[in-house]
Amino acid sequence: VKKVKPSVVKVSTQVLVEGRQSQSMFGDDIFDRFFNMRPRSPQQVEGIGSGFFISADGYIITNHHVVKDAITITVETIDKKKYKAKKIGEDPKTDLALLKIDGGSHPFLEMGDAEKTEVGEWVLAIGNPLYQDLTVTSGIISAKGRSMEGLRQSGLQYQDFIQTDAAINQGNSGGPLI
């Protein structure tokens, strides 16, 4: 964990959400309740997740759902440095996204070889749940070669996913499994 955690980052996003309504403490729309009106102004909502450097020059992997529809993406390193990130690519079907930040020589993780992993092998999931500093959860590789039913129905044959029972808490999405 000491070796890996400097390469793990916090990913914060701002997303513009259409049609959010103000809610009263009673759970109903304030304007509807008193004026029979429904304001539909867009609002910025913050999202959070995790990611990790895959190269010293600032490339970061995270989950697609962490940065989907983001109008701004900020990456924060373990030493509290903040960077504006650019989305380089994304694949919604595999829930992966590639980000890039400028500057520096960043600590990074080398990708493991999934072929060498075995069912029952211990793994760690590292991330930033709920705006907290890094946390670590542990588990095992529960299965290999899993497919995703939704992808199969769309005609795609992704069938080499690794299944784990390590807890992936809210905000940990995008962090590494080591």
Q: pLDDT tens string for the chain (178 positions)? A: 999 999 999 999 998 777 655 554 455 555 555 665 555 667 778 888 999 999 999 999 999 999 999 999 999 999 899 999 999 999 988 889 999 999 879 999 999 888 899 999 999 999 987 767 788 999 999 988 776 665 555 555 555 678 889 988 877 888 999 9
29 is catalytic: no
Query: What pLDDT score does 157 carry?
Result: 54
Q: Active-site residue among 29, 95, 106, 165?
A: 95
Identify each DSSP E strand in the chain by its residue range. 8-17, 43-53, 59-62, 70-76, 82-84, 86-91, 96-100, 122-127, 135-146, 161-164
User: Model's pTM, two decimal places?
Assistant: 0.79
Owner of token pair 């793990």 = 8
Bridge partners (DSSP) of residue 146 are 161
Q: Active-site residue among 32, 57, 65, 142?
A: 65
Q: Active-site residue among 7, 12, 50, 173?
A: 173
12 is catalytic: no
95 is catalytic: yes
